[in-house]
Structure 1
Amino acid sequence: MTSTAPALSAVPSTLRIPLAARALGARLFPNMAVDDRYAAAALARMGDDGAQWLQDRQSVYGTLARTQVFRATGQAFLARHPHATVANLGCGLSDYLQWLDNGDMQMIDADLPEVMTIRRELSPARHARHRLLELDLTAADWWDALGLPTSRDADPVMLMSEGVFMYLQPDTVTAVLQTFAERAPAGSVFTFDAMCWLSIGRAKQHTSVKHTDAQFHWGPRRENELNQLHPRLHLAASQQVMGDYNLFYRYLQPLFKALTGVPLYAIYRLEVSA
C-alpha cells in the first residue's frame, strides 16, 4: 500500500482517531503511554501524520485510558481462561494481540470488508491462532460468521468492541447484545465503550469526529437497561474513562451520573450466566 490515505466511508474513517492516539499520544500524556508497537507504522503507511487528531487532547487521553481498560480486562479474562477466544468486533487497526497473546489463546479481529482490506495489508494475521474476518453487525448471522461457539456448554469467550457502539443504530445494539446473551457460553464477557444518550446526533460537536461523516446514534439512558435485554445478561461493571483527565471531569462525572443515571462516557462489561 502506498503512503496515501485510503478512502474510507463514514464510520470506518474514524479508525484514524484511536490509531493516532496510540501512535503519538504519549507525546501529550507520557504517563498514559500504552506502548503500542505497531500503531506508528500503520499511521505512517496511511499517509497520516496524526497532527489533526492530536489537537483533540480529550480524545487522545480517552483512547489511551480506554486502551488500558480493555487491555486489563482481556488479560484478566485470559488469566482465568488461558485457551479462550477473544473477538474484537469493529477492530479497525487496533492490535490487542500484542498485549494479550499468551501462546494459547485465539484472537479474532473483525470489521467491515473495506477496513479488513487495509488491515490485511498493514497488519496481517500473525499466526494460526489469529484470524482476520469480515464482520457486519447488522447481519443476523454475525455470531456464526465469526465461528463463535455453537453451544452454551463450550468454554467462555470474550467479545470486545471499542469505539463502535455509539455509531450503531439502537436496534442493532439491542440485537447484538441479545445475540451474545442467547448464544454465549456461561461466563462469557462482552466489553464495550459508550457515550450517554445525550451525545446522539451531536457528532459535529466532537472535536475529532466532526472531521468525518460519522454520526452518533446510540447511548444508554440508564445502566439498568442493559440488564433488561435478556435474562442471562447482567452488567458486571461500568468504568468511567475521563475521570483523571482533569479536575473538571473528576467532579463532573459523578454529578452527571447522579443527575442522569448513566455515565457521561464509560466502558461497560456485560457477563452471561448459565
Structure 2
Amino acid sequence: MVKLGAVQETMLLTLHARATNGDETARRLVGSIDYDFSVFEREQGLTALFHVLRSESYDEWTRQFLAECPHGTVVELGAGLTTRADRLDNGTATWVFLDLPDAAEFRRTLLPDADRRHTVTASVLDPAWPGAITVPGPYLFLAEGLLVYFQPPEVRTVLSTIATSFPGSRIALDTYGAWIVARPRGPLRRMEAAMVWPCDDPREVERWDAGLTLRESRQLTRPVPRTLPRRRRLALHAVNALAPPRMINLRVSLYSC
C-alpha cells in the first residue's frame, strides 16, 4: 500500500482525475499503484473535471513556452506523478520534477528519469532549493495543486525565491477563493491535506512585491470548453449560471518574474 505524506497523497487524486479523462499514461499508472482509488471514483464528479480543466490550462501555457523557447526548461514544483512531459515534450526541452523525498522516490519508481528528464529531491520551502536546478534556462515553473496547501507567508517566500533566483522566468499557479478553502469538496474532505492559502484575487500576488507581474488569469469554469462531452458542458453551464461567484472562484494564473 502506498504511504505518502498528507499533501503528497493529493497527487493520486490528480492522477486519477486525468486517468478517467483520457490520459493513457495516467491510466496505466493508476492500474499499477497499490492504492484504494475507489474513494475518488465515488466522489469524482465536478472535482475531477476541475482537475482536468486546471491541467489543460497548464498544458496550454507550457505549449506556448516551448514554442517560444524550444530548448527551455520546464520545472514542475511538487511534481507528484505529472505526465505532462509525456504529452508535450518537443524533443529538445529539459524537464525537472521537484518534490519531497517520499514523493520523488515514488515518482522515480514509476516514471524513471531519462535524457532531459530529471527528478530532484528538495522542498520548495527550503531557501536552498534553487541550487538543485542545474540545467540552463529560460525557465517555466509550474506549481500545479501545490501552493494552496501553504500558509500565505510561505507562498510569498516561494514566489520571491523564484523571482530572485530565476529572473526572466515564468510561473503558473492555481488559486482558490476563501469560501472554497474553508469548505473542501469531493475527495479532499476524506484526505488529511488541508487547503490553507485563500486567494480571491490573483493580483494580490503582485501587491506582495515578490517580483511577479500577472500576465494572464482565467477562471476554471469559464469559458466552457467545446471539446468537453455534452453532459459535462451542460454541468459546467449550470454551475456558472446557478452557483454564487464565491463558490466557483478557482483560477489559474501565469506570472512573469
Normalising by the smaller structure, the TM-score range is: 0.7 to 0.9
How far apart in 2 are the matches of 1:14 and 1:165?
12
Q: Secondary structure at the match of 1:137?
A: coil
The answer to whether the Cα contact below 8 Å between 2:160 and 2:210 also exists between their aligned partners in 1 is no
**Relative to structure 1, is the Cα distance of residues 222 and 65 closer, same or farther in structure 2, using a 3 angstrom cutoff?**
closer
Following TM superposition, the consecutive aligned residue runs of length 4 or more in structure 1 with deviations greater than 4 angstroms are none
Partner secondary structure for residue 175 of structure 2: strand
Residues 67 and 200 (structure 1 numbering): CA distance in 2 closer, same or farther, change over 3 Å? closer
Tell me the residue number matched to 2:129.
142
The structure 2 residue matched to 1:194, chosen from 170, 175, 194, is 175
State which drifts further: 12-21 or 240-249.
240-249
Determine if the alignment matches structure 1 residue 256 to structure 2 residue 245: yes
Other-structure match for 1:129: 116
Q: Does 1:110 align with 2:98?
A: yes
CA RMSD of aligned residues (A): 2.1
Distance 1:145 1:177 in 2: 16
Matching residue within 134, 142, 145 for 1:160: 142
Offset of 1:173 from its aligned partner?
0.4
Q: Secondary structure at the match of 1:200?
A: helix
- Structure 2 residue corresponding to 1:23, chosen from 11, 19, 44: 19
Q: Verify the 8 A CA contact 1:137 1:172 in the aligned structure 2.
A: no
Secondary structure of 1:246's match? helix
* Structure 2: unaligned runs, 5 residues or longer: 225-234
Determine the structure 1 residue equivalent to 2:236.
246
Does 1:14 pair with 2:2? no
Give the structure 2 partner of residue 220 of structure 1.
199
C-alpha contact 2:74 2:140 (8 A) present in aligned 1: yes
Query: For each residue in 1:24-53, what CA deviation from the matched residue of structure 2 results, as whole angstroms up to 9, or x when unmatched?
Result: 2x3xxxxxx4xx231112112212463321
Distance apart, 1:183 and its partner CA: 2.1
Using structure 2 for the length normalisation, give the TM-score: 0.87
- Picking from 81, 88, 103, the partner of 1:100 is 88
Please, which runs of 5 or more residues in structure 1 have no aligned partner?
Answer: 27-32, 150-154
Match of 1:209 in 2: 188
Correspondence 1:229 to 2:216: no
Q: Deviations over 1:6-30 (max 9, x none)?
A: 1112111111111111112x3xxxx
Instruction: Determine the C-alpha separation between the residues in 2 that align with 1:213 and 1:176.
Output: 23
Question: In the alignment, is the contact (CA less than 8 A) between 1:157 and 1:185 conserved in 2?
Answer: no
> What SS does the aligned partner of 2:163 have?
helix
Contact conserved, 1:11 with 1:214, CA < 8 A, in 2?
Answer: yes
Q: Who is 1:152 aligned against?
A: none
| 8 A contact 2:175–2:202 mirrored in 1 | no
Residue 230 of structure 1 and its aligned partner are, at CA, apart by: 2.8
Greater relative contact order (Cα < 8 A, sep 6+)? 2
Task: Tell whether the 8 Å contact from 1:190 to 1:271 is kept in structure 2 after alignment.
Answer: yes
1:177 aligns with 2:159: yes
Instruction: Give the Cα–Cα distance (whole angstroms) in 2 for the partners of residues 264 and 164 of structure 1.
Output: 17
Give, in whole Å, the separation in 2 of the partners of 1:10 and 1:201: 18
**1:100 positional shift:** 2.3
